[in-house]
Amino acid sequence: MCPQADDSVESVTKRPRRVKSGKITVVGVLGELLITAGALVLLFLGWQLWWNDMIMANSQSSAASAISQDWIDQDTATPEPVPSTDPAEPNAEPAPVDYGAPIVATAPANAKAFAVLYVPRFGADYHRTIAEGTGHDVLNSNRLGIGHYDGTQMPGEVGNFAIAAHRSAFGGGMHLINELQLGDAIYVQTADGYYTYRYRDMEYVAPSQVQVLASVPNHPDASAVDRIITLTSCNPLYSTAERIIAYGVFESWHPLSAGAPAELAPIIAAQG
Amino acid sequence: MYAVLWRVLPGPIWVRIILILILLLAVLAVLATWVYPWIDGMLNSQEATVGGP
C-alpha cells in the first residue's frame, strides 16, 4: 500500500516537470516575441540618439573641414596681396580693418554645400557644412547637416540668412543652441570669406511660424535694413513640438585672403 | 523559442554562450546597418524646420 502510494506521488510530480522543460507554448513564444520587440525599440532609440548621432556628427564635421580647407587652399593658390594684419601676434586685438561691403554670393542649387558654420559656444571644434535647402537630403545627410532655407538671404546680405539643423539625432547640428549667450560669435565661412555674426536673442515658436524667416524676422511687411542670421532647430530636446529660434546680428566681414577673424583662426588651424 | 535555439546549438555551455554572443552581434550589425536606417527614413521623427514638409 505504502510503496504504491509513493510511486503514484512520484509520477504526479514528474509529469509537470517534463512538460515545463520540453514543450513550446503559444504564450511562451508570444512572451519572448514581445520582450524581443521591446528590446528592439530600445535599441533603435539608442542607435538613433547616440550611436548614429555620433557617427553622423563625426562625418559631417570632417566633411566640413575638407570643404573649408579646400577654399583656403584654392585661395592661397591664386596670388593675393598679403593682408596687413600682423600674423606674429594672433592674440592681439587687431585694429578693425574695413573690408567694405561683404561679398554676397548667389544661392546654389539644392543640396549643394556653400558655407561652413562655426559656433565656438557649441564646442571649440564645432564646424558644420551649410547646404542649400532644408529637405531631408540636406538635414539627414552624413556630410551636410545644416540647411539654408530656400528664398532667404545669403551670408552677408541685408535681410535674413536663415538656417536649420537637427537638435538631436542625425549629427545634432544644433544640439546646444539653447546654450547661446548674448554676444556669442557665429561665424560663417564661404568661398568668399568669413562673416561674423553675434548672437542676439532667442524665441520659441510653433512649427508653423514661418515669419521668423522673414527678412525682418516676425515682420514680413517691413523692409530689411540689418543683416540677420537665424538658426532654427526643434524644441524641447528629443521632441518636435516646438521650434527654438536663435537670432544673430552681422558684425563684420573678412575676405578669405585676409584670413579668419582672430577668435576663429586657431579653430580653423586646429582642424587642418 | 530561445529555448529551442539553446538546444540546437552544439557543444558545451561555454561554446553555446560564445555562439549566442556572435549571433547577437550579427543581429545588431544588421539592425544598425540596414534595418534602423530604413526605419529612420520612414519615421521622419526629427523635424527641425519651421513651415517644413
Contact B50 A212 (CB under 8 A): yes
Total of domains in chain A:
1
> Does residue A130 form part of some domain?
yes
Contact B39 A134 (CB under 8 A): no
The model's pLDDT over B5-49, given as tens digits with 9 standing for 90+, comes to 889 999 899 999 999 999 999 999 999 999 999 998 888 767 788
Determine the distance in angstroms separating the CA of B52 from the nearest CA of chain A, rounded to an integer.
8
Determine the distance in angstroms separating the CA of B43 from the nearest CA of chain A, rounded to an integer.
11
> Does residue A176 form part of some domain?
yes
Q: Can you give the residue ranges of every domain in chain B?
A: 2-41
> What pLDDT score was predicted for residue A111?
93
Measured from the Cβ of residue B35, the count of other Cβ atoms closer than 10 Å reads: 15
Closest chain A residue to B50, measured at CA = A207
Range of the domain at A254: 51-271
DSSP chain A: -HHHHHHHHHHHHHHHHHHHHHPPPHHHHHHHHHHHHHHHHHHHHHIIIIIHHHHHHHHHHHHHHHHHHHHHHHHHHS--PPPSS-TT-TTS-PPPP---SPP-PPP-STT-EEEEEE-GGG-TT-EEEEEE--SHHHHT-SS-EEEEPTTSPPTTSSEEEEEE--SSSTT-TTTTGGG--TT-EEEEEESSEEEEEEEEEEEEE-TT-GGGGSSSTT-TTSPP-SEEEEEEEEESTT--SEEEEEEEEEEEEEEGGG---TTTHHHHHHH-
> What pLDDT score was predicted for residue B41?
83
Contact A43 B28 (CB under 8 A): yes
> Does residue A9 form part of some domain?
no
> What pLDDT score was predicted for residue A82?
47
> What pLDDT score was predicted for residue A12?
47
> Does residue A77 form part of some domain?
yes
CA A246 to chain centre: 14
> What pLDDT score was predicted for residue A59?
94
Which residue in B6, B30, B34, B49 has the most chain A C-beta atoms within 10 A of its own C-beta, making it the best mutation to test that interface? Answer: B49
Q: Does A44 touch chain B (CB under 8 A)?
A: yes
DSSP bridge pairs for A132: A148
ipTM: 0.87
> What pLDDT score was predicted for residue A71?
92
Contact B1 A28 (CB under 8 A): yes
Determine the distance in angstroms separating the CA of B18 from the nearest CA of chain A, rounded to an integer.
20
How high is the mean pLDDT in each 10-residue block of chain A (272 residues)?
A: 46 48 82 95 93 93 93 74 50 65 92 95 93 92 93 95 93 93 95 95 94 94 94 91 95 90 90 72
- DSSP 3-state of B46: coil
Contact A240 B37 (CB under 8 A): no
> What pLDDT score was predicted for residue A18?
47
Say if residue B53's pLDDT is above 70: no
A vs B: CB pairs below 8 A? 82
Q: Does A209 touch chain B (CB under 8 A)?
A: yes
> What pLDDT score was predicted for residue A2?
45
> What pLDDT score was predicted for residue A97?
72
Contact A28 B46 (CB under 8 A): no
Which residue in A21, A150, A233, A238 has the most chain B C-beta atoms within 10 A of its own C-beta, making it the best mutation to test that interface? Answer: A233
Pick from B44, B47, B50: CB nearest A205? B50
Pick from A29, A47, A165: CB nearest B36? A47
Which residue in A27, A49, A139 has the most chain B C-beta atoms within 10 A of its own C-beta, making it the best mutation to test that interface? Answer: A139
> What pLDDT score was predicted for residue A95?
59
